[in-house]
Amino acid sequence: MVTLPDGTRVPALGQGTWHMGEDRRARAAEVAALKLGIELGMTLIDTAEMYGEGGAEEVVGEAIAGARDRVFIVSKVYPHNAGRRAVVAACERSLRRLGIETIDLYLLHWRGAVPLAETVEGFEALRHAGRIARWGVSNLDVADMEELWSLAGGAGGATNQVLYNLAERGIEFDLIQWCAQRNVPVMAYSPVGQ
């Protein structure tokens, strides 16, 4: 288990859904795989509006039906949907596809043209409205994290999700240490490669 800055404990290993929801013929197998993972204790599920253009979120929604109280859902917003109002609309679409009331952890998928300050404002509005429980970022480097931390409310991010595995270890040079010094958990995606 890993403890987030707000004290919430989440599984250290989760199920990713990249490439799910892209082929309707695979849907039953994808749903079954996620359900089996939940039964085996892999109750953190990571998805994004980008994966299958919402198709992966639909697969997740089907897999967690009747098991919402047992899973921790992470989803991500496209950078072009990360403005003050756009992030609210994007989140509502994700919630609808997932069939849930609240996303446990909502991440900015990567840095785009929308100023980080607008994204933080949107995330905080969603959190205050109960549509997300907490927010974070993905694929941000140290310079981006320092900018985020300098913003009002910017230190409220729960994690930075980044590529990290035996073949991709660039974050070891500075990002891991930067995050550790500020109690920001690093969430690895593709931890065993592709």
Q: What percent of the chain has pLDDT over 70?
A: 100
Tens digit of pLDDT for each residue in 2-35?
Answer: 999 999 999 999 999 999 999 999 999 999 999 9
Confidence at 157, pLDDT banded by 50, 70, 90? very high
Q: What's the distance, CA 65 to chain centroid?
A: 19
Sequence-distant contacts of 27-32: CB under 8 A, at least 24 apart: 27/59, 27/62, 30/59, 30/63, 31/59, 31/62, 31/63
Backbone φ and ψ for 41, nearest 5 degrees, come out as 100, 5
Q: Encoding tokens for residue 129?
A: 């409205």
pTM over 0.85: yes
With vertex at residue 79, the alpha carbon angle to CA 20 and CA 117, rounded to the nearest 5 degrees, is 140
What pLDDT shows up at residue 58?
98
**How many beta carbons lie within 10 A of that of residue 41, not counting itself?**
10
Annotated catalytic sites, by residue? 51
Q: How confident is the model at residue 194 (pLDDT cuts 50, 70, 90)?
A: confident
pLDDT digits (tens, 9 = 90+) for 92-109: 999 999 999 999 999 999
